[in-house]
Chains A and B, each alone.
Chain A
Amino acid sequence: MTAVNSPAAPSSQVGPVGQSFAERLNGPWHERSLQVFMGIVLAHWGEHLAQAYQVYVLHWPMANARGVLGLWFPWLVTSEALHYGYALVMLVGLWILRGGFVGSSHTWWMVAFWIQFWHHIEHALLQGQVIVGQNLFGSPVPTSLAQLVIPRLELHLIYNTIVFIPMVIAMYRHLVPPEAERVRMGCTCAGHPRLAAA
């Protein structure tokens, strides 16, 4: 992880001509890509918000409080597929959109990525125990490492929070960058490059 990303395309070269898909995602399409990605992230938080509302405001039993999607597709919640799929989407999104960030925003974005990477390792550990048929620490169920340290808290919320915080800082530094970073950006997230550099 480096604090300074590889130089993005100069402002005058922003455009789809001759760019690979990854370059476009981190150049002219970066703003829209980040919006979509943030939409997915907020939709996930929305599920947790709905679940918390069901429990603490509507006083539904915990077993019935399955958020919004879980009301129609209960298996999404109970099978863990939703959690794991989201963790994977987060990991991929953080990785493929990293190139558009420069300077300090890149640093914060990569902090979020590496935390999410560890989160994914935890899931892989669980998967491995199921596949091998042998659980860690003599436990009757597959156990992740963080579950040993924080045995009773909502680890899922904790993980998503500690990934989200550096993400938001990165987004802020990316959308409102110092001038020295703005001129190195190859995307339109902080305004049109030519106007911003004027």
Chain B
Amino acid sequence: MFGLAVAAFAVHMSGAGAHPHEMAAHRGAPSRIIASQRIGPYVASVWTDPEVGSGPMYVVLEAADGQTFTPPSAVRVGIAPVSGRLPEVVHDAHAEPVRRGARFMTTVAFDRAERWTLRVLIGGSAGGGQLTSQVEATPNVAAGPFVLVLSLLPFLAVTGVWWRAAVVRRRTVALP
């Protein structure tokens, strides 16, 4: 068992193509907000994990039925609060290596927990188009300040156990 564990750790430390975000084991998994929608010659899905502060945005493209896949030349993601309090900000997404189709990624900024309008713009020689959706940005630590209290508890617990043990030990040693 520990041989496997050591091997896994060695693979991890060697890199093995791990992108920092890809290995964000303790961040919430992105969820699909647009599922397999036809856009030009593509079938597109959009995944995101919209945390307040920043959120990754993935645009996954595959060839539509009967179409030959030609990668788009540009994929952009525009976001704006539904309330209209800020103008739309458009982000260029960069291509990531995948075995089939194409995947584009960018990080967008959500400055407040509220509903946002999302536009995905795809352009290229094979055609393109625009997808629209909405997404709710939420605080990135759902537990909030509770985390502060939670992080204090282990110190209190260990102190309590140590103190109790010290008291019992003193009584034991004091026995005739």
Interface residues of A (CB under 8 A from B): 38, 41-42, 45-46, 48-49, 51-53, 55-57, 61-63, 78-81, 83-85, 88, 91-92, 95, 120, 122-124, 126-127, 130-131, 133-134, 138-144, 147-148, 150-157, 161, 164, 168, 171-172, 175-176, 190-192, 195-196, 198
Interface residues on B, range: 35 or more
Cβ distance B157 to chain A, nearest Cβ, rounded Å: 5
Interface residues of B (CB under 8 A from A): 2, 4-5, 8-9, 11-13, 16-18, 20-26, 28-32, 45, 47, 49, 51, 53-54, 56, 58, 60, 96, 99, 103, 105, 138, 140-145, 147-148, 150-152, 154-155, 157-158, 161-162, 164-165, 168-169, 172-173, 175
Would B151 and A175 count as touching, CB distance under 8 A?
no
Nearest first, the 7 closest Cβ-Cβ pairs linking A and B are A156-B26, A175-B165, A49-B151, A140-B58, A147-B29, A80-B23, A52-B148
- Contacts A124-B4, A150-B28 known; 8 new A-B pairs at CB < 8 A: A42-B155, A53-B148, A133-B17, A133-B99, A139-B30, A151-B29, A161-B150, A164-B154
**Bound-complex Cα distance A164 to B11 (A):** 27
Would B154 and A45 count as touching, CB distance under 8 A?
yes
Would B158 and A38 count as touching, CB distance under 8 A?
yes
Which residues in B have their C-beta under 8 angstroms from that of A164? 154, 157
**Bound-complex Cα distance A164 to B51 (A):** 27
Instruction: List 6 A-B residue pairs with CB atoms under 8 Å apart, sorted by A's residue number.
Output: A45-B154, A80-B20, A123-B25, A124-B8, A154-B143, A171-B158
